[in-house]
Structure 1
Amino acid sequence: MLIKNNYNFDRQHIWHPYSSIKKPFPCYQVIKAKGCKLKLNNGKTLIDGMSSWLSAIHGYNHPRLNLAIKKQIKKMSHVMFGGLTHISAISLCRKLIEITPLPLECIFLCDSGSVSIEVSMKMALQYWLGRKENRQKFLALQYSYHGDTFAAMSVCDPKNSMHNLWKGYLTENYFAEAPKCGFYENWSIKDFDDFAYLIEKHHKKLAAVIIEPIVQGAGGMRIYNPKYLQLVREYCNLYDVLLIVDEIATGFGRTGKLFAFEYSDIEPDILCLGKALTGGTMTLAATITTREIADTISNSYANCFMHGPTFMGNPMACAVAVENLNILQNNDWVHQVGNIEKQLFKFLLPLKNSQQVSDIRILGAIGVVETNRSIDIAAIQNFFVRQGVWIRPFGKLIYLVPPYIIKEHELKKLIESIFLAIEYPLNFL
């Protein structure tokens, strides 16, 4: 825990994500992070199973990422992107165009993943203005999660997500039934009936379909059949609707492919990237679209795209993102993620036999344990810390998304701690 004075100050004055200022969850003070280890102020060391919410894919304090930041800060830490440019942003955008599908060639650099979603939605709306069509609705999926800002919340499931509080304030969009066929299950065309019905009925109102590819994240860590996403692309083509793919959580190797949409062999019209873009060092995101969409936006109202964050294209963030992509292009991640997946299947999957568990889902460097009832987050968090691991459950889910560099014994320790929590559940479930 934090030393007493700092701990009390933190609880009384500082909001943490999805936490109450009146009755906050306990917080643990990290004083150093290196590799897959978090060191607390009490001397305890935790194995990190969260990659700082899927961002620190190469672990912490990576020497190459640190050096990229040091080199850049000697030149400049920031300069406005309006009317100015710099080599770090240019180099990053060159690399992003190189690793994404060929039609994607126009890039808007953003502050965060949620802002990337906002930008993608504004792009879609302004695109249809450029085509002189009044399309102001979006089609998303049940259990979807796309961020916490207002437009992003409007395409998160209004009934089954953390954002149902805002119903009535948000623009109402359309939501198709979530895919039921799992990634490894036989495909059933009935899984797609509701989406097909909604896009056929409302396509003239739709600015875009927005979807998390293959893995639905904070809406329940659901992993669905690639055929579903393939049909989404086909129907968007059929009904002339843009497709926004949200790879913020899944991008850069997490699922075993560089981008999860590759499992379905599709290309998005607009692609949102974030989280692991800088290897977990700094906040940065990107929204990438086609030349046709960009040109149409430029022919619409004001003859430009109406968005421009103050810290857009931050040189330090861009420089470290370039080095992060350099590391990924060595392709070690393919072997690393493959080994994590094998270990998850070998050691985590047996939990499916537990009476406390309703499902186990695994893909790439993602392992999900869905319990039969809600978890006491504060209690189980304390248990995991005492076990020497950092795992952050939510709802009924205990999940692992470790750094790619995690060692076999470290991952096994994370899995063993989950087994213990499930085996002795009285205080948690």
Structure 2
Amino acid sequence: MNKDNIQTNLLFDQQHIWHPYTSAINPLPCYQVVKAEGVYIHLASGEKLVDGVSSWWTAIHGYNHPELNKAVQEQTQDFSHVMFGGLTHQPAIDLCRTLIDITPSGLDRVFLADSGSVSVEVAMKMALQYWACQGNGNKHKFITPRNGYHGDTFAAMSVCDPVNGMHSLFTDSLNQQIFAPSPQTRFDKQWNEDDIASLEELIHNHHHELAALIIEPIVQNAGGMRIYHPEYLKRCRQLCDDYGLLLICDEIATGFGRTGKLFACEHADISPDIMCLGKALTGGYMTLAATLCSEDVAQGVCQGEPGVFMHGPTFMGNALACAVANASLKLIQQGDWQQQVAQIEQQLKNDLLPCKNLESVADVRVLGAIGVVETKSAVNVAEIQKEFVKQGVWIRPFGKLVYIMPPYIISQPQLKQLTSAIYKALKNNK
């Protein structure tokens, strides 16, 4: 593609296409992609970039994977989509059977949805309907730790951090939820019993109006990339049991091996009442999400009026998405991810630790295939991404966080290219 065509395309994009979290007045620069394979993104302008964020944490097997390609192609030859109301199909049946098998025990019902945010909406709706159908309609609020992020749709926004959740303009339009202080004990530090005290007090005082506690297990992702102690999650499960709340675990970002466990709940050896899945579910190929719940929740939701769960996305159970999700889960079940993620974790610890000595850096933290460098002040996204592209890597920082969540198939030299780029960029960022 010649330079004139590239510039024409990018100018049109800038003037007419709205990208995520971008201003229409002063949009961030965009780079045109022509191909992606393995861990590489190829730009129209000729650069070949190592992808450090797996296309927002989805492409865990890399791009253009032959097994995933094959699954899509074969399913297309049969049918791409049929409505899920009154119809079913083998890809959906196989997917739901696998999800029930591999998720924590007790999650025996699966609701398929379009995206992670929708799966959170579904989970919250389930919790509210569950209590209403038990004659406890006064249990209509949610409690959640600060620094959480659960999506950009309206119910999901209401349980995002009210300060850093990017939704402060909508405060008057959102349902008012109850926020506890965020967990402070780090994953690798000694548990501090004081860490749970505020949450316990709030639940004690408000349990009569609380439908559920919703939380991102072990890693608070877009709300700050904070990695907390498993004991906090264990205590959340205990408090929900003691006070009659449902526990919703949002595993959209952490599921499918990202933290070193297949699901982050496993670090605390707990099972939620409702679990949200998305992102890596299809290996980054298509949008698909799932909300799993216990049989008790499923039965409770459908007792009394209206007798059904009133939710039904048009593309629910999309056959193409289910087929490629099945292929992705088959790769996961081969078990290679365990060694891959362990190797990534060790290299991230070795390679990112020197960033702590940089003047601009406040903290470095690593868990599984997640590496986070927190700076003392917000980075200039446009400038630092330009620098990253020059170094042959794709890293998308936000706020004070320069992080990487690479595909599991990344090699040591490719990962070194990412970590070296971060060190160099932040060393020059005085």
TM, length-normalised to structure 2: 0.98
Residue 140, structure 1, aligned to residue 147, structure 2? no
Instruction: Indicate the SS of the match to 1:257.
Output: coil
Shift of the alpha carbon at 1:301? 2.4
Shift of the alpha carbon at 1:159? 1.7
Among 209, 215, 234, the residue aligned to 2:213: 209
What is the distance in 2 between the residues matched to 1:32 and 1:105? 39
Residue 301, structure 1, aligned to residue 310, structure 2? no
Shift of the alpha carbon at 1:303? 0.5
Aligned partner letter, 1:273: L
Shift of the alpha carbon at 1:101? 2.1
- 1:44 equivalent in structure 2: 47
Instruction: Indicate the SS of the match to 2:284.
Output: coil
Residue 120, structure 1, aligned to residue 88, structure 2? no
What is the distance in 2 between the residues matched to 1:311 and 1:355? 49
Residue 30, structure 1, aligned to residue 37, structure 2? no
Instruction: Indicate the SS of the match to 2:420.
Output: helix
What is the distance in 2 between the residues matched to 1:22 and 1:300? 51
- 1:93 equivalent in structure 2: 96
- 2:327 equivalent in structure 1: 323
Among 370, 373, 379, the residue aligned to 1:375: 379
- Indicate conservation of the 8 Å contact 1:127/1:300, yes or no: no
TM, length-normalised to structure 1: 0.98
**Superposition pairs of residues 171-186 of structure 1, within 5 angstroms:** 171-186=175-190
Among 186, 194, 211, the residue aligned to 1:190: 194
Residue 311, structure 1, aligned to residue 315, structure 2? yes
What is the distance in 2 between the residues matched to 1:310 and 1:261? 30
Cα displacement string for residues 302-328 of structure 1 (whole angstroms, at most 9, x for unaligned residues): 110010000000000001101111000
Aligned length: 426
Moved beyond 3 Å, runs of 4+: none
Cα displacement string for residues 61-90 of structure 1 (whole angstroms, at most 9, x for unaligned residues): 000000000010000010000010000100
Question: Unmatched 5+ residue regions in structure 1?
Answer: none
Question: Unmatched 5+ residue regions in structure 2?
Answer: none
- Indicate conservation of the 8 Å contact 1:129/1:301, yes or no: no
- 1:65 equivalent in structure 2: 68
- Indicate conservation of the 8 Å contact 2:104/2:266, yes or no: no
What is the distance in 2 between the residues matched to 1:4 and 1:39? 16
Instruction: Indicate the SS of the match to 2:95.
Output: helix
What is the distance in 2 between the residues matched to 1:402 and 1:163? 28
Instruction: Indicate the SS of the match to 1:303.
Output: coil
- Indicate conservation of the 8 Å contact 1:129/1:300, yes or no: no
- Indicate conservation of the 8 Å contact 2:277/2:290, yes or no: yes
What is the distance in 1 between the residues matched to 2:125 and 2:90? 27
What is the distance in 2 between the residues matched to 1:225 and 1:131? 34
What is the distance in 1 between the residues matched to 2:304 and 2:387? 56
Shift of the alpha carbon at 1:336? 0.3
- Indicate conservation of the 8 Å contact 2:371/2:405, yes or no: yes
Residue 245, structure 1, aligned to residue 263, structure 2? no
Residue 12, structure 1, aligned to residue 15, structure 2? yes
Shift of the alpha carbon at 1:300? 3.4
Shift of the alpha carbon at 1:352? 1.2
What is the distance in 2 between the residues matched to 1:349 and 1:59? 26
Instruction: Indicate the SS of the match to 1:327.
Output: helix
- Indicate conservation of the 8 Å contact 1:57/1:279, yes or no: yes
Among 33, 51, 56, the residue aligned to 1:53: 56
Shift of the alpha carbon at 1:350? 1.8
- Indicate conservation of the 8 Å contact 1:384/1:390, yes or no: yes
Shift of the alpha carbon at 1:97? 0.6
- 2:362 equivalent in structure 1: 358
- 1:129 equivalent in structure 2: 132
- Indicate conservation of the 8 Å contact 1:255/1:363, yes or no: yes
Percent of aligned positions that are identical: 57
Instruction: Indicate the SS of the match to 2:212.
Output: strand
Residue 225, structure 1, aligned to residue 215, structure 2? no
What is the distance in 1 between the residues matched to 2:42 and 2:424? 22
- Indicate conservation of the 8 Å contact 1:126/1:300, yes or no: no
Structure 1 vs Structure 2 CA RMSD: 0.9
- Indicate conservation of the 8 Å contact 1:143/1:178, yes or no: yes
- Indicate conservation of the 8 Å contact 1:51/1:402, yes or no: yes
Among 151, 156, 176, the residue aligned to 1:152: 156
What is the distance in 2 between the residues matched to 1:324 and 1:4? 36
- 1:268 equivalent in structure 2: 272
Shift of the alpha carbon at 1:212? 0.2
What is the distance in 2 between the residues matched to 1:93 and 1:329? 15
Cα displacement string for residues 9-30 of structure 1 (whole angstroms, at most 9, x for unaligned residues): 1001000000011210000001
Cα displacement string for residues 264-322 of structure 1 (whole angstroms, at most 9, x for unaligned residues): 01000000000000000000000000111111111132110010000000000001101
Among 87, 93, 105, the residue aligned to 1:102: 105
What is the distance in 2 between the residues matched to 1:140 and 1:392? 27
What is the distance in 2 between the residues matched to 1:330 and 1:159? 41
Instruction: Indicate the SS of the match to 1:301.
Output: coil
Aligned partner letter, 1:28: Y
Among 401, 406, 409, the residue aligned to 2:405: 401
